[in-house]
Amino acid sequence: MVNILSDKLVVSELIQNNYNVKSVIAELNFILDEVNHVKIISEYEVLISKLGNSDCFSQISKIIYSDLLGIKKHANK
């Protein structure tokens, strides 16, 4: 969800074939690296400020809806 809301890759999504011991270890090593850890935390802070403190589910819905409209508009070109 954070990648969708941030409109970029913030954290890897280890799902289906990407979820295995090798990829989990690689991702943990990536996250535990000081520089990468700081970048990830920074991106989460940006997202938190974007969503605001109140009614964050409404804000999330609006962002996803807007992204979907953009995808649909782009596909119709």
- Going from N- to C-terminal start, the domains of the chain cover 2-75
The pLDDT score that the predictor gives to residue 76 is: 62
Report DSSP letters for 5-67, one per residue.
HHTS-SS----GGG-SHHHHHHHHHHHHSHHHHHHHHHHHHHHHHHH-SS-HHHHHHHHHHHH
Per-residue pLDDT tens over the stretch 9-63? 998 988 888 899 999 999 999 988 989 989 999 898 888 888 776 677 777 777 7
Q: pTM of whole model > 0.85?
A: no
pLDDT, greater one: 68 or 13: 13
Give the pLDDT of residue 44.
86
